[in-house]
Amino acid sequence: MSAFRAVIFDMDGVLLDSEPFHHAALNEVLAADGRSVSDEEYRPFIGSGEIRWEDLVRRFDLVGSPGGYCRQFDDAVTRQYRARSRLNPGAAELLAGLREAAVPLGVASNSKRRWVDAAIETLGIGGRFLSVVAADEVTKPKPAPDLYLAVAAGLGVPPAECIAVEDSLPGVQSARAAGTYVVGYRTPHTTGLDLPADEVIDTLYEFPLDRLAVDVALRKAG
């Protein structure tokens, strides 16, 4: 069995549940025009990381420009990350255990750098990661391999010696294309979704620590 030397995390969905932030931000922007999107209507946007405002302007006959709505949405999402970011169950313990064992850690996020920075700062985990790359810092975001290749390069570890943790199909495809070992993480938003990962876990407490080249202790809080 291979022993891996580094771990690369997706951010949204894996480290924190941020999907409600995007939905709330979308409705905050639409509220100025007397519009809103229900939970069911929002479902197609889940995991997209971006809103196609050109489509929404036509769909709702909005009076503003797509670019203007995009900037408002960007600001609203950033505020949501700063106000509501909380680590998913098991994330704090996993990050602490990996850090104690000196395992190099990275973040490969399909979100904008502004959002990533807001989340990491609010969570107080900026010092945990040696390499953080966002979607607007690479030529092609997920499902292309660019993000994972860039993070692995920043860590100084070949992709084949990294474990990626992903909760979405585009994320799994990105990590696999880069040549990493992929752990699929099922969240409430992705239950029932086919994740073609090397293995799948239902909680971060199930992370396969035995695949790492060093011993890592992981204890549940309390």
pLDDT tens digit sequence for 91-128: 999 999 999 999 999 999 999 999 999 999 999 999 99
Sheet holding 162-166, edge to edge: 131-133, 105-108, 6-9, 162-166, 181-185, 199-201
Q: What is the pLDDT of residues 177-216, one digit of tens each?
A: 999 999 999 987 766 678 899 999 999 999 999 999 887 7
Catalytic residue, candidates 12, 17, 146, 167: 12
> What confidence category does residue 217 fall into, taking pLDDT thresholds of 50, 70 and 90?
low
Catalytic residue, candidates 10, 17, 146, 167: 10
- Is 140 strand, coil or helix? coil
Q: Which amino acid is at 124?
A: G
Distance CA 179, CA 147 (A): 12
Distance CA 186, CA 44 (A): 18
Active site residue 10: yes
pLDDT at 191: 67
Count other Cβ atoms within 10 Å, centred on residue 18.
Answer: 23
- What does DSSP assign to residue 45? G
pLDDT at 202: 93
| pLDDT over 70 percentage in the chain | 92
